[in-house]
Amino acid sequence: MRLSVRYYVYSLGLLLALAPCFLFTLTLKRWPDSWDEYASMGYMLLLSGSPEAGIHQFREAVRVQPGDIQHLELGVALAQAGHPKEARIELQEALRLNHELGIYLVQRTRVMKGMEQFQEVVPTPPNAPDGHFSLGKLLLELDLPQEAIDQFEQALKLSPNNETYEKNLNRARAALNKKPAP
């Protein structure tokens, strides 16, 4: 009995699809304390349409080495998989450990559903001028000067006379004045 070309192509495709999972499993057996291997496997599982299995791998990464990046990656995975409450907890923990992750979070959330979802999932802490400043800088880079102005003004309320905040507020106001009317 001759096997068809279709069978060989299917078998090759299956082998190629399973190879990364097999390799990550071998790597994790060899280096069980490697948080980045858990994260890599989590990404692979998310991309292959297995979000819950991917989230499990990100949880393992946090267990092995709890840190700001680990909580950040778990939070993003949870948000992508439709678990906003859990995502918020993880992302707030990441920001607590490193408030400068706000810019990275926004860049990652572009992949999700845009700035509105980011602001719902990770609200800027009300008494953190650096958080408002970082978000303002990012909003300015995204060509959202009015939103940036709001953040810079909030930062200045919490930290009056901060020259850096003032300078960026003026940049945002200038950008708003240059922006054409809709």
In a domain, 175, yes or no: yes
Which residue in 59, 77, 140, 146 sits closest to 103, CA to CA? Answer: 140
**Mean of per-residue pLDDT scores for the chain:** 76
Looking at residue 129, its pLDDT comes to 80
Pick the more confident residue, 21 or 100: 100
Residues 111 and 100 in one domain: yes
Our count of domains for the chain comes to 2
Is residue 61 included in any domain, yes or no? yes
Choose among 91, 100, 147, 154: nearest CA to 118.
Answer: 91
Answer whether residue 12 is part of any domain. no
Give residue 58's pLDDT.
Answer: 92
Indicate whether 29 and 111 sit together in one domain. Answer: yes
- The confidence score (pLDDT) of residue 49 equals 78
Is 9 inside any structural domain? no
Q: Which two tokens stand for residue 129?
A: 């001028």
Name every residue whose Cβ is closer than 8 Å to that of residue 42 and which is 6 or more positions away in sequence.
Answer: 54, 55, 56, 57, 58, 61, 73, 77
**Whole-number Å distance between alpha carbons of 110 and 114:** 5
Which pLDDT tens digit goes with each residue over 72-87?
A: 889 888 988 888 899 8
Cα–Cα dist 67/58, whole Å: 12
Percentage with pLDDT > 90 across the chain = 16
27, part of any domain? yes
58, 111: one domain = yes
Question: Looking at the structure, do residues 44 and 83 belong to the same domain, yes or no?
Answer: yes
Indicate whether 116 and 40 sit together in one domain: yes
Whether residue 13 is contained in a domain is answered as no
Q: Report H helices in 31-128.
A: 35-47, 51-64, 68-80, 84-97, 101-111, 115-121
Q: What is the mean pLDDT of residues 151-179?
A: 91
Per-residue pLDDT reduced to its tens digit, 114-147: 455 445 544 556 677 877 787 787 777 767 788 8
Token code pair at residue 44: 């692979």
Residue 135 lies in a domain: yes
Per-residue pLDDT at 40 exceeds 70? yes
Residue 84 belongs to what domain range?
Answer: 20-122
pLDDT for 173: 95
Residue 40 C-beta-side C-alpha neighbours within 13 Å: 13
Same domain flag for 113 and 26: yes
Query: What pLDDT score does 36 carry?
Result: 78
Q: Are residues 87 and 138 in the same domain?
A: no
**How far apart (Å, rounded) are the C-alpha atoms in residues 64 and 118?**
27
Specify whether 34 is located in the same domain as 83: yes
Where a domain ends, among 122, 143, 162?
Answer: 122
- Predicted confidence (pLDDT) per residue in 1-35, tens digit: 455 666 566 565 655 555 555 555 666 566 667 77
Could you tell me if 40 and 58 lie in one domain? yes
